[in-house]
Chains A and B, each alone.
Chain A
Amino acid sequence: MKKIILLAAAAILGFSSCEDFLDSQDYTGKNSTNFPSTNEDVDKMVAAVYKSCFYGPFQGNNLEQYFSVANIMSDDMFGGAGLGDPWWQALDKLMYAQTNQMQDLWTYAYETIARANAALGVIDNIADEETRKQTKGELLFMRAYSYYYLVLAFNNVPFIEKAPETVAEAQTAPKQVEGKEIFKHIADDLYEATSIMPSYKYDGWQKLAFGKVSRWAAEAFLGRAFLFYTGFYGEATWPKTDGTAIDRDYVAKALKDCIDNSGHDLLSDYRSLWAYSNPYTAKDYDYVTDMIEKGTCYQEGNKEVLLAINFQYQSAWSAQLHLTNQYGLFFGIRCDGNNQDDDRYHVGTDTSVYPFSTGWGCGTVATNLVNDWQRIEPDDPRREASILDMSKTKLDPGTFSDAVELTMYHQKKITSVRSSGGTKYSWSIDAMGSDGNGNYQASNCTPLTIYRFADVLLMYSEIEKDGTSLNRVRARVGLPAVDYTDEALRNERRWELAFEGSRWDDLRRWGIAADALSKQNGQVMYNQGQKVSMSFNNYAARYNATKGFYRIPKSQIDLSGGEYKQNAGWEDDAANQFAGY
């Protein structure tokens, strides 16, 4: 009996070293105790910064990326899309439809900043100096890029230096900083990036992988940001935090560096820039069939592209659509109902819009753009290269049964492009050598251009007030040279860079936004097939009230416990809410 008691006691006491028993190990994840521990970990951290900087929110109804937002808010596009998508239509009118509209833009920008901060904190783990400088430049670029569009979208935003260390810290709202102050940090980052990044001459993206931020992309961004800062705030130089400033000469030198040393250049044919001229599509698309023989078809990563977002190819719908090119879907031509196999998407029908593919119909082209362009530069071939005129087909606006702000003009640059006569939902399916017809929501992986060489030429012209490089851009499309004037430059940017996300910033920095936006009012459009006109006479008023800064998402103001103040022009929620058509 005693033995049994002893055994029992042993059994109990055997488990007294509980703490060890309660330690557990994570076999598939890492955490702050063991990450980052290798060079590879740092690479992974950098990839994660790219992801949050450039990909949209997962399955966001709204694709809250600055590129989309800036396009819609400009005078060249309406909101478009469907009855059920007031988000887009509100954006065009500087109103809001959803309580937390633009929250994703806010959180993704800050996610990028947090990830970039974390990666910059361990950048010295990279032993090789050149790699370190290149990588550091990429991270500085992406941090600056995120702050840049945070400021342009929301003006007064918090500045985050480092990750919170405790839960209490994470629950405390950091103060809002005036946008102009944030710009000093952007200046710091871009100044450093353009100083340290190695000059990898364009070699077809051999040395530096396509998708990565190069020195030349950083110089282009520097130009954009400098022009915005000096134009919008009416100052000659752009201050940094250390009291010095980036001046006109530094920027001009950087742009010149890009023009002279980058190896990037204009393509000979403007159409070669856009996916519709790809060989799989071109054979059925009369507008570009000539390019097959000339060998000027669209090529990914061509020499004009300074920075592009690269995407994943998916053959079927998946939970990771955000890795694919969703811009092509959102800015695609709206289908009637869900009929993505409608005749209109196939070649050879009298209603054909081939090769442009199905989508949610966002960002219909505002007719004022078409009219201005026709009037000011009637012979410009870029108009047809950029805009599809659906009224030239027998396509009846009445078949867009739930579309609103439909103009029968659609841009050709962002929309996903079909191939094989329209049976393949995206030309990417052919390019990837895939058998099936793919999935119209998932299969477009055409890279989206952020900066290209022509933009740098135009910025250089603007900063130097000299027409030489401007005329280089005009010459490419066979237009005669002009003398430099602000108006000539502004028009040239509008035509050359239409729908490429820069127009909104340009309008604001040139101080012409209120007038330009107002021209959208009264333009003809179709709502649910009915011919109406855009009747919003508050464009100028909304711009003047807000200066183009958007409404800080209510959720963030609530979470800040009242620390964040709403922007000017957005105080009256009810008055600024767009209820939809």
Chain B
Amino acid sequence: MLNFKLLEKPLVLLFLFCLFPLGTLAQNVVRGTVIDEAGEPVIGASIQVQGAKTGAVTDFNGRFNVAANSDATLTISYVGFVTETVKVQGRNDLKITIHEDVTTLNDVVVIGYGVQKKKLVTGSTVQVKGDDIAKLSTTDAFTALQGQTPGVTILQNSGQAGEGYKVNIRGIGTTGNSDPLYVIDGVAGGSLNDLNPSDIETIDVLKDAASAAIYGARAANGVILITTRQGKAGKLQVNYDGYLGWQYLAKSPDVLDAQEYVYSRKLREFNGGAAVPEWEAKLPAEIYQKLQDGWTGTDWLDASYHKGAMTQNHSVSMFGGNDVSKFNMGVAYTKQDGILGGETQSQFERYNIRLNSSHAILRSKNKDFDVITLGENLNVNRRIRSGISQSNMYWNNVHDLLNANPLLPVYDENGNYYTNKEMAEHGWTLGSAVNPMAIAATTSQGLNESNNWNVNISGYLEIQPIKNLIFKSQFGYRFGSNSYRAMTRIHASGTNVADQDNASQQLNMWSRITFENTLTYTFDINKHNINVVAGQSIEKNGYGENLNASGNNLLFGDSWEHAYVSNAQIKKLADVSVSGTPSADNSLSSWFGRVSYNYDEKYMVQATLRADGSSNFARGHRWGVFPSASVGWVITNEKFMEKTSSWLDFFKIRASWGQNGNCNIPNFNYLTQVGFSTANSYFFGVGNHEEPTTGGSFNILGNPDLTWETSEQIDLGVDARFLGGRLGLAFDWYKKTTKDWLVSAPILGVYGIGAPYINGGDVENKGVEVAVSWNDHIGKDFRYGASVNLATNKNEVTKLANSEGIIHGPGAVWHQLEGEIYRAQVGQPIGFFYGYKTAGVFQNGQQIAEFSQRCEDKVHGGNDNLRPGDLIFVDTNGDGSIDDNDRTFIGDPHPDVTLGVNINLSYKGFDLSATGNGAFGHEILRTWANQDFLEQNLNKKIVYGSWKGEGTSNKLPIFDGFDTPNWKNMSSAMLENGDYFRIANITFGYDFKNIWKSSPLQQMRLYVAVNNLYTFTGYTGMDPEVGSDGGSGSAWAAGIDTGLYPYPRTYLVGVNLKF
């Protein structure tokens, strides 16, 4: 921000000089131009004459006139640039080049309700520039943020375009919603998915409680502030950025081919598992013959694969303005074809339109500040998505592709999908064979499309009655609409049978208003710099409606284009279903204030207080007060540090403490709720099987005492720069304690009512974050830089207020027969893997005999059943018996350490950059080997890496089938190490402006890039980045790979043009 106070007098003087152009006495007028390294004029740079009280500001052409003696010294300063000192030495028409400040010490970061110089920040925040996001050529900003924001874990739920991400700042603190709060252009509650990466100016992540505290409510999980590109005064500039990309499968899933599959059945039988099917009797003759001839069977993933599927992104933006009005507008289009899906290839398209502008309506008499400013930010987007199912193992097409039987052909000789009907006709009796291609092509698992419309608009009015006292009133409106359409054709694939076709449609619309008023005053008293903010905010959600309908028996049969509910020929009540509800209604009302103080930019103190009221709680329990405080000390500004200034440029220590709130639960939980639903109905009357009597019952016990969840955090940090600003270091230690966790913990069954939400637990997250960067240049043209960041987190549930201290995960997640495989429990991380601990595999009879001396393995049905090759389960409770009670912690899906690496080089017009990210110290459970069925495909590792005799394997047991104690019980042998490091992006570009200097364009950069080049990992699945809960519906679970759509490797070519 410009310091208006600094400019006040120079402007007045300048004004006077204009009135008296002849000048007076000893002073001359010195003229000059200020340009940046690219030769572009710098507008608004301030020029000050040392030792005098005169100064000037550059105009649109970067020009200035200032009254100065011919031997004067000028100081030229501009935000983000190194302050330059120039001696006039009698010259006139000076040409002054200023350089970008690579040390970023003077960078300005966005904090809640304002901005602050980065060097004065006392909390823990991290800023990522929009340019750094855009240059990674990703479809969305989340992927680009990976590896750039230590302490922020970003995991994709699935690699399918348009699917969501799991974002956690400094660990999970709740079993409820642990997403951070997104604030886009000052309006809370947006979604980063709505934006094209090219629209983003900066993303600022507020990690510690003190930084986030100004957003008290809902800031318990941290805050991500997004600023979209804003207008700049100056000449009109038009940019075009675009790329085309081709996508490929990054890693083969390594499943068995038909011959290997046959071998696997032999191996299984040999090891005492199920008998080898009589292939000749069970398979159609033609398939049996092909198998004899060496046929390798169906490669299902390949059958579904669209090699080289295109992705593209185009954005055009335009900005400019003058001292009164400024604007920045952009349009963007993204299209990404999926690499999987066969006939129903997944698709993603996004359109964005953005217009940001601000207008000074009234300027002060001296024209040194704007008295009234009006502005708006408008962002409209539409997203269209169709894809294949990605949920739990029963509703996951990739899961089905990975475990489909390789002996089953995709099509029969007539080109029909080989489904139950064809199997029966051809004499396939191998059982349990499902054709996943047919499922995708005939059911809503592939036949679906969703449309999303979002309009985000905010308008603001700023009134500055006296200088630096700003009243700002902002009104935000967000409108969203989703429609979803799906179809089921008449089909018979496995258990999934429909003899009537069906179309279903959903339409939801909702809106939200926010209204905020803030008063900010900034003033200095000598070296005391003070900034005060006070404000009020209200937010109301839920103006909207939802309609769902579904109908059977479609007039146009197979046609997807005609699959609308109106085309259903409804004969009976059961052929149609309709529901309509209003959007959930909730509101939030808040008051807040903040005081920031610094003395000579050396000592900083900041205090925040926010009070929030939420409609999710009963009267009397609605209000939560969230205080915070932070301090900082720039040691390098002390006199006694002068001797280190040769190598230490900047050293700041900071500390913060604060509390944030969370009220993110369904509303009305303070009341005992009555459920009415068809699921709760009964059928009375002879022959009445269609007209229910709807039941009403008390479903969930109300808890009138329900109130805010609080997250309290301590943060200690250091920011430092060394060696002329070339080496940068940021370090943070934090401890975040979530208290009065809002949780629906299980209660006893005897009361016959659903568990209430309670404020019932504490979670602790602890960790450190380190970021190191190096920026330098060799000679004039060769610039290089590298940064590495590393973050650790340790999560532990410290209290759970129900009687057993456990929140159980659901059963049938890993396979149908297994109970809970993850849970939340006191003393353990949230969502830890729960099962039997193993101590390797019995290698020989002697080992078993020794084991039998101390222990009875009841899981294997007694020690008499043990044989070499079996898993050695550990008697964790030491009672001499291995049974259910020995299940325990066997792994943690949350990484201990995350790592990001960024490297960039440039030489003249060439640029080369690489980014990578990784995570370490976590486990993954691969579930797409579905234990329920005998005739399914497997990962090769299970067959070839399992125990084959003494010394062959001490991890995977003998392969004797999936219904055996070795394989059907959740144990540490079933978990895989999830460590990985991914080379996320490599980009090489050249700006042709360097060789075609007379071009009318300012930039003509052409680049090639690879995304997701290679992943170093020992994990056997397709992608080790597993944010998914396996479709089990627990936001707090992760690391369950039910067969996730792989994140593709993409080769891109793109251009950046600036006019």
Contact = CB atoms under 8 A, between A and B. Distances in A.
Contacts of A439: 497-499
Interface residues of B, number: 120
B686 A48 contact: no
Contacts of A163: 698, 701, 751-753
A516 to B, nearest CB: 27
B433 A337 contact: yes
Interface in A21-64: 21-33, 35-36, 41, 43-45, 47-52, 54-55, 58, 61
Contacts of A115: 697-698, 752
A32 B672 contact: yes
A403 to B, nearest CB: 11
A528 B431 CA distance: 13
Interface stretch (B113-121, B159-167, B674-682): B674-682
A48 B581 contact: no
Contacts of B749: 103, 106-107, 110-111, 556, 559
A349 interface: no
B497 A436 contact: no
Contact of B575 (A8, A164, A170, A315): A315
A69 interface: no
Contacts of A231: none
Given A22-B622, A31-B674, A211-B683, A559 B747 contact: yes
Contacts of A24: 585-587, 615, 667-668
A170 B500 contact: no
A575 interface: yes
A107 B806 contact: no
Contacts of B687: 300-301, 431
A167 B680 contact: no
A110 B749 CA distance: 7
B668 A30 contact: no
Nearest to A562: B803
B884 A41 contact: no
Nearest to A27: B582
A405 to B, nearest CB: 15
Interface in B479-516: 488, 490, 492, 494-500, 502, 515
A574 interface: yes
Contact of A440 (B497, B619, B882): B497
A559 B885 contact: no
Contacts of B858: 574-575, 577
B888 to A, nearest CB: 14
Contact of B752 (A28, A41, A112, A554): A112
A338 B432 contact: yes
A167 B703 contact: yes
B585 A25 contact: yes
Nearest to A22: B615
A580 interface: yes
B668 A21 contact: no
B806 A436 contact: no
Given A170-B751, A211-B684, A323-B679, A32 B697 contact: no
Nearest to B859: A579
B431 A338 contact: yes
Contacts of B705: 167
Interface string B835-855: 000000000000000000000
Contact of B538 (A21, A58, A559): A21
Contacts of B492: 341
Interface in A157-201: 157-158, 160, 163-164, 167, 170-171, 173-174
A241 interface: no
Nearest to B667: A24
Contact of B473 (A8, A205, A402): A8
A521 interface: no
B588 to A, nearest CB: 8
Of the four ranges (under 10, 10 to 19, 20 to 34, 35 or more), the interface on chain A belongs to 35 or more
Given A29-B674, A301-B686, A555-B808, A435 B500 contact: yes
B555 to A, nearest CB: 14
Contact of B574 (A48, A50, A311, A313): A313
Contacts, number: 335
B681 A47 contact: yes
A404 to B, nearest CB: 11
A27 B883 CA distance: 50
Interface in A104-118: 106-107, 110-115, 118
A579 B861 contact: yes
A244 interface: no
Contacts of A210: 684-686, 688
A167 B756 contact: yes
Interface in B442-478: 463, 465, 471, 473
B692 A312 contact: yes
Nearest to B820: A99
Nearest to A112: B752
B804 interface: yes
Contacts of A502: none
B965 A579 contact: yes
B682 A31 contact: no
B499 A114 contact: no
Given A15-B536, A29-B673, A205-B686, A580 B963 contact: yes
Given A4-B463, A31-B671, A22 B589 contact: yes
Interface in A318-335: 319-320, 322-323
A179 to B, nearest CB: 15
A4 B575 CA distance: 61
A8 B747 contact: no
A18 B613 contact: yes
Contacts of B502: 316
A577 B686 contact: no
Contacts of B686: 204-205, 210, 300-301
A488 to B, nearest CB: 35
Given A171-B803, A205-B685, A320-B679, A26 B471 contact: no
Contacts of B758: 167
Interface in B926-943: 931-932, 934-935
Given A11-B473, A51-B681, A310-B684, A436 B585 contact: no
A323 B615 contact: no
B679 A528 contact: no
B750 A83 contact: no
Contacts of A301: 686-687
Contacts of B490: 436
Contacts of B803: 171, 173, 558-561
A61 B816 contact: yes
A84 B962 CA distance: 10
Contact of B750 (A36, A174, A441): A174
B275 interface: yes
B689 interface: yes
B571 interface: yes
Contacts of B690: 312-313, 432
Contacts of B856: 574
B252 to A, nearest CB: 28
B431 A402 contact: yes
B703 A323 contact: no
A164 B587 contact: no
B428 to A, nearest CB: 9
A456 B680 CA distance: 31
B701 A170 contact: yes
B19 interface: no
B23 interface: no
B429 A339 contact: yes
Given A1-B465, A32-B672, A338-B495, A21 B587 contact: yes
Given A157-B750, A160-B750, 20 more contacts: A8-B473, A26-B667, A30-B696, A45-B695, A99-B819, A114-B698, A164-B753, A210-B688, A301-B686, A310-B682, A310-B684, A315-B552, A317-B498, A323-B679, A323-B681, A338-B494, A339-B424, A432-B690, A528-B274, A554-B884
5 contacts: A103-B749, A118-B698, A315-B552, A317-B496, A342-B424
The list of the 7 closest CB pairs from A to B, nearest first, reads A337-B431, A114-B752, A48-B695, A436-B499, A44-B696, A574-B883, A574-B858
